[in-house]
Structures are given as C-alpha cells and as structure tokens.
C-alpha cells in the first residue's frame, strides 16, 4: 500500500512506518555519509541524497570527507546569487529559477536541495549575505515561496535554512543570540513561516548558532513550539552539518535528521546514543516514530519510492533563465548625462579594467559553490557583444597582491579609449563573500578606490561595474564617476547579461534588496555596537529596526536606499485609489493606481508599497514594505496596477497578546520607486481591531 501513489500520503506513511524495524527507523534519522542517509532495499527505500545549495546543484563530495568525489558527471548550471535574484523583485522569475534547481537536482538524483537560505541581512558584513535575499522579511518571503514552489514541482524537496537567527558567520557555531519577541516574529521568522505555510516546504535546516541559550538545531522553542506546534510543519528538521551537540536535546527538541556530525556515523547523537536511550526507556518510542514519519513524508511526497522522472541539466531553457535573472537583477546605481547605455555605433575603443572582469566566481564562497558547465566572465561577455565592432582592451588594474604598475597601465589604457569599464568589487575569498567568516569592513579591497579615481581622471567616461554580495562603500569616488552598475554574482551567463545591459539591449530594472549605508557605523547593529557580540553572546539591540526600518525611523541618510535602482527610461505614477476589500475572505484593502512609461525605451519598474501606521499602540518603523509589483511597459504605455493589502499588511506582533494585532485607525499607504522615492500617498482607515494568533 505504501508504494501506491493513488493512496493518501498519511496512509502510506503509516503503512511504511509499521513495516520498519528499530534499526531501519534509526537509519532514517541520521546520515551514513556526508550527504546521504542509508537505503533500505528490502522495502524499496533508496539511498537519499541531499545536496547544496541555493545557486545550483553542488559537486559531489565524500563519502566521508569534504573533498570532491572527483566525478565527471557532477557539473551543474551556476545561477546568479540569491541576492541578485532578490533584486529582480520578480516572484515569477524566482519560480523559474527554482525550476532550474529542481530539474537539475532530479537529473543528479538528489532528493533534497539545501536551500534557499532566508536569513535576513542584519549587518552588511555577513559573509553569506550573497546567499540570502537582503534585509526585508516581506520581499524575502515572497521570493522564497516562489523559489520553493519551483524546486518542489520537480519531485525534489527544498530545504529552507538556517532556522533561525543565523545572521553572521563570526562565531557562528557557538554565538548565543538574544532578541526580543517582536524582532523575531516581525523580522527573522516571516520567511520561514511563509516557506512552511505557503511554500509547503518539505525540509527545514536548523542553524549553527544558539538562540536564547539553546542550540538552534535542537531548540525546543524554535522547533517544537513555533515551527511544529504553531505553524503546523509536517516535514523534517535536519541539523546543519555538525550543528548537533547533545543527545537528549536532539531527541526531545525537534531534530529529525542529524547530518555532518564530526564522529563515526554510529556515534551520531541520533544513532547509538539514541538507541541506548530508547532501550533504557529514557525516550519514548513515539518520539522516534514521529521523526521517521517526517522523513518518510518527504520521501513519499516527492515520489522517491516510485521512481522519479529523468530531470534535465544545463538546457537552453536553464541558460536562458540564468541570463534573465542576471539581467533583471542588475541594479543601475548611478547614470549621469546618459553615460549608459553605451552606443556601439558611436564609440570605437573600450578599455576593460579590473580583476573581476576575468575572475571566475562559480567555484567559491563555501557550500554554495558550483562546478559549473561554463562561466561567461564580464570581459568575455563584452567581447562577444561588442568585440566585432569595437576595439576592446583589457588591463588588470588591481589584484590581491598590490602591484603599483597595474594602476599605471590601466590609467594608460583608459586614456587611450573612448570609454573605460572598471569591473571590480568583491569576490569569494575569505573575509569577503564567503562562508565561515565575515567581512572586516565595507570597503573595496586591493586599492580599488585609488584605481577608480585615477582611471576617471584619465577618462571621464568611466563606468564602474561592481560584483559583490552586499553593501560596499563608494564615498571616495562616487561623485566623480558618471555611472555605476551593480551586478552581484551574476551566474554562468553573467558576462552576457552584463554586456546586454551596458549596451542597452536590456533596460536595467533591478532594485536594491538592502540599504547601502554611507559607512558601516550608520548600520544599526554597528551604530549600537551590538555586532559581533561580546563573550559569546549577541544581543540584537536594534530590535525591529533592521535595514531601512532603522535608516528611515532614525533619519540616517544612506548611500543608496532599499528598493532603489535606476532605469534607462522613466515612469510616472498617478491616480491612486484606495478601496476597502469587499470579500470577507479577501484583502482588507486594495491600492489601485496607474503607471506610465514616459521615456523612450521599453523597461521594467518595481512599484513598491509601504505602510505607515499613524498612531500604533506599540512603536513601529516609519515604513514597512507590504506589497510590490513589477511591470514592463513600452514607451508611452500606461497600465493599471492593483496591489492587495491583506490583514497582515496592517498588523504588527504584540508580544503580550502573543498574536498579530491590526488596529483600528489610520494608515498611510506609500507607493514608490524606492523606499525614499515615494510618488503617491493615500490614507486608509481600518474600521476594526483584530488579533490573529
């Protein structure tokens, strides 16, 4: 019966559970190699493969080491980093991205993909910011849910991680995080909740850090109370690799699958020691059964017992999606005097400068690295796009080991060219965008500040392209250069995408999913001296005021605000109408307005809706993102947009009432092209107070 796909999932799970021996049950709750759990051939349960990560299917390692397995069939498509996907503000594209991940995972016979990570950007320095979606819980939720749906539409489970409060790499395995309940509920948990309740994600990975004194991988409050009891999560909780530390807590506090412990597999907490505790009657058998059920649910739900489809890898469609995400995720930060797009009929020589123009990025960053089929670098993309018409030169300009000659040669090359394009920023070396360490500051490394200034002195038509996974300081040179393009880590098609955006084949439409502060000390966790914690503990002193919530409420001027990004065209917003929702099950309000492309090029705009409550019962940030919509318009084209406002758009978490409170009274609805470029405003009055648990 458990093999019959026409039978209900729960009945199949119960049936299979009843056939398992104790040893077989135990085998399903811990690893038997770095990324697998054991097969149970007599019942047709295959070996279960898990794989990183968010940006593609990682190469195989192991079995008992982190070293590459040395296979020739473990290449994958390398997709743009999630921070760039987030910048698209396009959930449909996020779903298409998830589709690629799911289809390739199936081809590589992986059952669970270890992503997406949905930790919030609390500090610009987090070494893993590139793997996450920025600073806003609403944006992260919308994008992650779509990603998960994409992955899970291919007989593959997604695994949302790292639950919870894993917002820095510094002391990540030990740091104890303390924060108030409102910050937890309003900032750090929403994306996990949405992944569970809307994305129906089959797996959740615990975090390395401790939370309120207990390790997150076996944390009674987070896993038992919030995730399973309150949210009704039915799938499995796995540990992060080597994130399990205690048998009793692992058994009792909600962990269902132990991975990566640095011990022989039989000595894993959920192996030998668990068996011993069960035999002594220290743990009830029902607790093992619950863990096994959760594991079986995932396997049966994705069809792992019935033979899954073939999948596909690095198809034309995958390459196309990679390129579209890269194109739509690029953020035009500055563009003066029409410096961009470049017109290849009006220039003859382009001097490309900078190590990141040629640096391969795919195989870096830690667990998110990808053994990619190919990687089009920025230089290659520019040469492919414009090399036939234009003379493209290349000069290194800067590199990790200082070399004063490089600057001189780059300056000379720039002086000989019509346009200079500096491709700089960060990379995946330790202390930049890399797992297990944080950045040390927000500055550009390797003397790039000086290089940029010298080059722009030699050639005022200098375009700066930045790669990186988070905010970078630009103070020394920003005023001097006419154009800056932020490309994040744009994936295997990145160079092609960049060239298409620079030469105007594509109009940039990416928006920042995080604030770029002028300097690190402006950022809340740093302004308050909270980061990186003291004596193994970090108190999130800024509470709710993360990212733009802090900058706006405290009136701190950022370098670039959340939601910011320019276009080669312009948009006009008009005719806002706020109406009350009529359907009792539908949204409480609907914001309707018109948007028109008033420029000369086709382009996309991300309309952002922020909510402000005039007199909240508890203090609230001055604005919070509660809706967005991306529109693509031809020149002169006008469109009606409506954004629904659910009850959740008005509510905040009331820790005393332990629920989401939407208060009767006045709200201001702000519609803008960024969090600081509000184009339309309207008032809306909620007629009733309501509380939801």
Among residues 203 and 546, whose Cβ is nearest to ligand BGC?
203
**Distance between CA atoms of 528 and 630, rounded to whole angstroms?**
35
| Residue 52 binds ligand BGC (CB under 6 A) | yes
Q: Among residue numbers 551 through 590, which ones bind ligand BGC (CB under 6 A)? A: none
Three-state SS for 528-589 is CCCCCCECCEEECCCCCCCCHHHHHHCCCCCCECCCCCECCCCEEEEEEEEEECCCCCCCCE
How far the first Cα of the chain sits from its last, in Å, is: 38
| Residue 127 binds ligand BGC (CB under 6 A) | no
Q: Taking CB under 6 A as the rule, which mask of x and - marks residues 456-475 in contact with ligand BGC?
A: --------------------
Among residues 52 and 542, whose Cβ is nearest to ligand BGC?
52
| Residue 53 binds ligand BGC (CB under 6 A) | yes
In the complex, the smallest distance separating the C-beta of residue 491 from ligand BGC, rounded to whole angstroms, is: 19
**Distance between CA atoms of 163 and 217, rounded to whole angstroms?**
8
Instruction: Please identify which of the residues 240, 256, 449, 522 carries the catalytic annotation.
Output: 240
In the complex, the smallest distance separating the C-beta of residue 689 from ligand BGC, rounded to whole angstroms, is: 41
In the complex, the smallest distance separating the C-beta of residue 526 from ligand BGC, rounded to whole angstroms, is: 24
| Residue 114 binds ligand BGC (CB under 6 A) | yes
Return all residues near 415 (Cβ < 8 A) that are at least 6 apart: 458, 459
Among residues 434 and 463, whose Cβ is nearest to ligand BGC?
434
Q: Among residue numbers 352 through 371, which ones bind ligand BGC (CB under 6 A)? A: 367
In the complex, the smallest distance separating the C-beta of residue 233 from ligand BGC, rounded to whole angstroms, is: 19
Q: Which residues pair with 607 in a beta bridge?
A: 629
3-state SS assignment for residue 270: coil
Among residues 53 and 235, whose Cβ is nearest to ligand BGC?
53
In the complex, the smallest distance separating the C-beta of residue 161 from ligand BGC, rounded to whole angstroms, is: 6
| DSSP letter for each residue of 297-346 | HHHHHTTTTS-------S-HHHHHHHHHHHHHH-EEEEE-TT--S--TTT
Among residues 195 and 419, whose Cβ is nearest to ligand BGC?
195
DSSP H stretches of helix in 153-180: none
Read off the DSSP letter of residue 153. T
The residue from 59, 99, 240, 380 that contacts ligand BGC (CB under 6 A) is: 240
Among residues 52 and 375, whose Cβ is nearest to ligand BGC?
52
| Residue 161 binds ligand BGC (CB under 6 A) | yes
- Continuous segment of H or E residues that includes residue 382: helix 378-386
In the complex, the smallest distance separating the C-beta of residue 114 from ligand BGC, rounded to whole angstroms, is: 4
Q: How many residues bind ligand BGC (CB under 6 A)?
A: 7
In the complex, the smallest distance separating the C-beta of residue 430 from ligand BGC, rounded to whole angstroms, is: 14
| Residue 40 binds ligand BGC (CB under 6 A) | no
**Distance between CA atoms of 359 and 377, rounded to whole angstroms?**
7
| Residue 49 binds ligand BGC (CB under 6 A) | no
| Residue 59 binds ligand BGC (CB under 6 A) | no
CA distances from 151 to 56, 146, 302 (A): 11, 9, 11
Active site residue 240: yes
Task: Note whether 67 and 61 are within 8 A (CB).
Answer: yes
Among residues 366 and 543, whose Cβ is nearest to ligand BGC?
366
| DSSP letter for each residue of 412-462 | HHHHTSSEEEEEEE--SSTTSS-TTS--S-SS-STTHHHHHHHHHHH-S-E
The residue from 130, 202, 241, 550 that contacts ligand BGC (CB under 6 A) is: 241
Instruction: Return residues touching ligand BGC (CB under 6 A).
Output: 52-53, 114, 161, 240-241, 367
Residues known to be catalytic: 240
């Amino acid at each position: 019966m458990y093999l019959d796909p026409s039978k209900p999932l729960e009945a199949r799970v119960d049936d299979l559970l009843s056939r398992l021996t104790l040893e077989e049950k135990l085998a399903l709750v811990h690893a038997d190699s770095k990324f697998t759990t054991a097969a149970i051939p007599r019942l047709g349960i295959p070996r279960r493969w898990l794989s990183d990560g968010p940006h593609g299917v990682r190469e195989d390692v192991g079995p008992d080491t982190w070293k590459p397995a040395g296979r020739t069939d473990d290449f994958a498509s390398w997709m743009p980093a999630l921070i760039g996907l987030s910048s698209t503000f396009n959930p449909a594209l996020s779903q298409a991205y998830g589709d690629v991940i799911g289809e390739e995972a199936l081809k590589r016979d992986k059952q669970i993909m270890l992503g997406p990570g949905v930790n919030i950007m609390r500090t610009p320095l987090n070494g893993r910011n590139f793997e996450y979606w920025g600073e806003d819980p609403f944006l992260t939720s919308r994008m992650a849910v779509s990603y998960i749906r994409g992955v899970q539409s291919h007989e593959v489970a997604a695994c949302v991680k790292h639950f919870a409060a894993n917002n820095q790499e510094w002391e990540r395995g030990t740091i104890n995080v303390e924060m108030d309940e409102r910050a937890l509920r309003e900032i750090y948990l929403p994306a996990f909740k949405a992944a569970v309740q809307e994305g129906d994600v089959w797996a959740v990975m615990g975090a390395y850090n401790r939370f309120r004194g207990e390790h997150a991988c076996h944390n009674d409050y987070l896993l038992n109370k919030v995730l399973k009891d309150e949210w009704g999560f039915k799938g499995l909780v796995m540990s992060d690799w080597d994130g399990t530390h205690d048998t009793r807590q692992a058994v009792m506090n909600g962990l269902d699958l132990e991975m990566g412990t640095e011990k022989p597999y039989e000595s894993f907490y959920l192996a030998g020691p668990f068996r011993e505790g069960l035999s002594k009657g220290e743990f009830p058998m029902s607790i093992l059964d619950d863990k096994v059920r959760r594991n079986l649910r995932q396997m049966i739900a994705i069809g792992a017992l019935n033979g899954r489809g073939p999948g596909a890898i690095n198809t034309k469609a995958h390459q196309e999606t990679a390129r579209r995400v890269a194109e739509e995720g690029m953020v035009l930060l500055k563009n003066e005097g029409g410096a961009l797009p470049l017109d290849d009929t009006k220039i003859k020589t382009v001097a490309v400068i900078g190590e990141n123009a040629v640096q391969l990025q795919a195989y870096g960053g830690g667990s998110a690295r990808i053994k990619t089929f190919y990687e089009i670098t920025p230089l290659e993309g520019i040469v492919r796009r414009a090399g036939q018409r234009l003379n493209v030169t290349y000069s290194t300009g800067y590199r990790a080991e200082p070399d004063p000659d490089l600057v001189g040669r780059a300056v000379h090359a720039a002086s000989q060219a019509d346009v200079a394009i500096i491709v700089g920023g960060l990379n995946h070396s330790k202390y930049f965008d890399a797992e297990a360490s944080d950045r040390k500051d927000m500055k550009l490394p390797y003397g790039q500040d000086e290089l940029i200034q010298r080059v722009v002195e030699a050639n005022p038509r200098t375009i700066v392209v930045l790669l990186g996974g988070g905010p970078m300081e630009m103070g020394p040179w920003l005023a001097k250069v006419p154009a800056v393009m932020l490309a994040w880590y744009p994936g295997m098609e990145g160079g092609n995408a960049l060239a298409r955006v620079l030469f105007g084949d594509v109009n940039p439409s990416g928006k920042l999913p995080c604030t770029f502060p002028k300097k690190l000390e402006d950022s809340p966790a740093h302004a308050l001296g909270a980061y990186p914690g003291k004596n193994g503990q970090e108190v999130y002193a800024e509470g709710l005021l993360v990212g733009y919530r802090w900058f706006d409420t405290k009136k701190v001027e950022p370098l670039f605000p959340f939601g910011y990004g320019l276009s080669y065209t312009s948009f006009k917003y008009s005719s806002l109408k706020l109406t009350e929702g009529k359907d009792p099950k539908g949204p409480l309000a609907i914001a309707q307005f018109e948007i028109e492309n008033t420029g000369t090029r086709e382009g996309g705009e991300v309309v952002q809706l922020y909510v402000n409550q005039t007199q909240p019962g508890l203090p609230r940030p001055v604005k919070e993102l509660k809706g967005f919509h991306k529109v693509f318009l031809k020149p002169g084209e006008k469109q009606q947009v409506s954004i629904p406002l659910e009850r959740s758009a008005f509510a905040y978490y009331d820790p005393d009432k332990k629920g989401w409170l939407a208060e009767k009274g006045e709200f201001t609805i702000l519609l803008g092209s960024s969090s600081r470029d509000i184009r339309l405003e309207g008032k809306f009055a909620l007629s009733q107070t309501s509380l939801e648990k």
